[in-house]
Amino acid sequence: MENTFDIAVAGAGPAGLMAAIAAAGKGEKVLLLEKMEKPARKLRITGKGRCNITNIKPEDEFLSNVFPDSRFFRSSFRNFSNTDLVRFLNVAGLDTVEERGGRVFPASQKSRDVAEVLVREAEKRATVICNAKVSRLYTEQSRVKGLCYEHRGKQIDVPVRALIVATGGLSYPLTGSTGDGYEFARHAEHGIVPLRPSLTGLELEDYEAVCLSLKNVELSLAVDGGIVQREFGEMEFTGYGIDGPSVLKISRNAVDAIRANKKVAVLINFKPALDRQQLMNRIDREILSIPTGSFTDLLKKLLPSAFVLPFARKIMMQANRKLTTFNSSDRERLVNGLFATKYSVSGFRPFSEAIVTAGGVCLQEINPKTMCSTLIENLFFAGEVLDLDANTGGYNLQIAFSTGYMAGQNAAI
């Protein structure tokens, strides 16, 4: 084998960069390998180019947004918390701002600035090699002895004292997240919890495509006829179905239910701020204001114009019908539609569009206090490769940073 390093890190995304920084900070000689042409490719486009770095909520509230086992993440979070991360980035030269809901962004509103700060800090401390794909692990007697990586047409062997796998999941594969870490985990005989897209759009049937953004609506997820989750906020109608913040929050449960062959539907409440009587009174007032108008005219006062005709067809009412013929039964149908327009969910968007990957390396085989494998004594895992994900709002990046920091620190012991 050529070259000598104490610790190797596979993958230079948020988890890998932080792992390299933490390990090198303890005086270790660290090799950080990235198979793409530059580090942090996915980080550079996250948050639609803005990068929601973390969420500043207190521990218990933060952990309530982490799945499937927030207790696993507690040690990593306490070791390197959201406030620790913000402080680290500020000291490194990145100004940050806190926005609605505790979300933290770079003050520049540019994801690439976050990536460049992390890469700069890693390069100060570690040897970073890009276009370097880890192709093989060498293990012996329940220990990693070294690895082989491909670089410029050569196969290069490197002995290491510890290896940190931070190769990401399957979401946004064009950024390099193609599941390499799962193969390394399988090589070490780790179990992999089934992989599926999370924080992703949902495809609808009985749906008339319309492109429309909505605010202040309530979205409910129904599985086998029962409501299992409600979210309030923003959503979008798209060419295939629905997307947006509220949809992303329900997508994890929706995807799992679809994969389990359960009947899945969404119900949209367009007027969640009103109770039934208040909505009926509102409708009566609008009808009085346009006594010679049509049902279309009424709906334009209640819904965005682009959704008027699709909504009318959805609740099976004639859009050109005169309001002079509007009766109590019609009013009931309209109120029911505004409070609970129902669409069957037929599918979900693929990994190429999903923000994160649910599933991954089984948490029961990882020590949460070190991020070390319980099967291979010097093999560590961090970030999205783990069976650990979260809601949208900065939580997933914090998981990557915290588990990466924990892995780097403990690999250096």
Question: What pLDDT score was predicted for residue 1?
Answer: 41
Question: What pLDDT score was predicted for residue 3?
Answer: 64
Of 302, 329, 349, the one marking the end of a domain is 349
Domain CATH number, residue 166: 3.50.50.60
Asked whether residue 41 falls in the same domain as residue 63, the answer is yes
Tell me how far apart the alpha carbons of residues 302 and 279 are, in angstroms, rounded to a whole number. Answer: 10
Question: What pLDDT score was predicted for residue 4?
Answer: 84
Give residue-wise pLDDT tens across range 165-220: 999 999 998 888 899 999 999 999 999 999 999 999 999 998 999 999 999 999 99
Asked whether residue 61 falls in the same domain as residue 193, the answer is yes
Q: What is the mean pLDDT of residues 316-344?
A: 96
Asked whether residue 174 falls in the same domain as residue 293, the answer is no
Q: What are phi and psi of 377, to 5 degrees?
A: -70, -15
Q: What is the share, in percent, of the chain residues with pLDDT greater than 70?
A: 99
Cβ 32 vs Cβ 9: under 8 Å = yes
Q: Is the model's pLDDT at 88 over the cut of 70? A: yes
Of 320, 349, 378, the one marking the end of a domain is 349
Asked whether residue 164 falls in the same domain as residue 208, the answer is no
Q: What is the share, in percent, of the chain residues with pLDDT greater than 90?
A: 96
Tell me how far apart the alpha carbons of residues 136 and 144 are, in angstroms, rounded to a whole number. Answer: 11
Q: Is the model's pLDDT at 238 over the cut of 90? A: yes
Rg (CA), the chain: 25
Q: At 44, is the pLDDT very low, low, confident or very high (cuts 50, 70, 90)?
A: very high
Q: What are phi and psi of 176, to 5 degrees?
A: 110, -5
Q: What is the mean pLDDT of residues 235-245?
A: 97
Q: Is the model's pLDDT at 2 over the cut of 60? A: no
Question: What pLDDT score was predicted for residue 290?
Answer: 96
Whole-Å CA distances, 345 to 173, 200, 201, 223, 350: 25, 13, 11, 10, 15
Question: What pLDDT score was predicted for residue 206?
Answer: 87
What is the chain's length? 413
Query: Residue 123 sits in which domain range?
Result: 7-197+356-411
Asked whether residue 83 falls in the same domain as residue 132, the answer is yes
Tell me how far apart the alpha carbons of residues 229 and 225 are, in angstroms, rounded to a whole number. Answer: 12
Q: What are phi and psi of 36, to 5 degrees?
A: -85, 175
Cβ 163 vs Cβ 325: under 8 Å = no
Q: 61-71 burial by CB neighbour count: b if 16+ within 10 A, else e?
A: ebbebbbeebe
Cβ 224 vs Cβ 262: under 8 Å = yes
Q: What is the mean pLDDT of residues 239-266?
A: 97
Assigned domain for 48 exists: yes
Give me the chain's average pLDDT, please: 96
pTM equals 0.94
Tell me how far apart the alpha carbons of residues 67 and 360 are, in angstroms, rounded to a whole number. Answer: 12
Asked whether residue 172 falls in the same domain as residue 210, the answer is no
Residue 213, classed as helix, strand or coil, is: strand
Asked whether residue 57 falls in the same domain as residue 205, the answer is no
Asked whether residue 387 falls in the same domain as residue 404, the answer is yes
Asked whether residue 180 falls in the same domain as residue 96, the answer is yes
Tell me how far apart the alpha carbons of residues 376 and 253 are, in angstroms, rounded to a whole number. Answer: 32
Asked whether residue 191 falls in the same domain as residue 145, the answer is yes
How many structural domains does the chain have? 2
Asked whether residue 232 falls in the same domain as residue 181, the answer is no
Assigned domain for 391 exists: yes
Asked whether residue 62 falls in the same domain as residue 77, the answer is yes
Assigned domain for 1 exists: no
Assigned domain for 248 exists: yes
Contacts of 175 (CB under 8 A, 6+ apart): 36, 41, 42, 45
Assigned domain for 2 exists: no
Q: Is the model's pLDDT at 261 over the cut of 70? A: yes
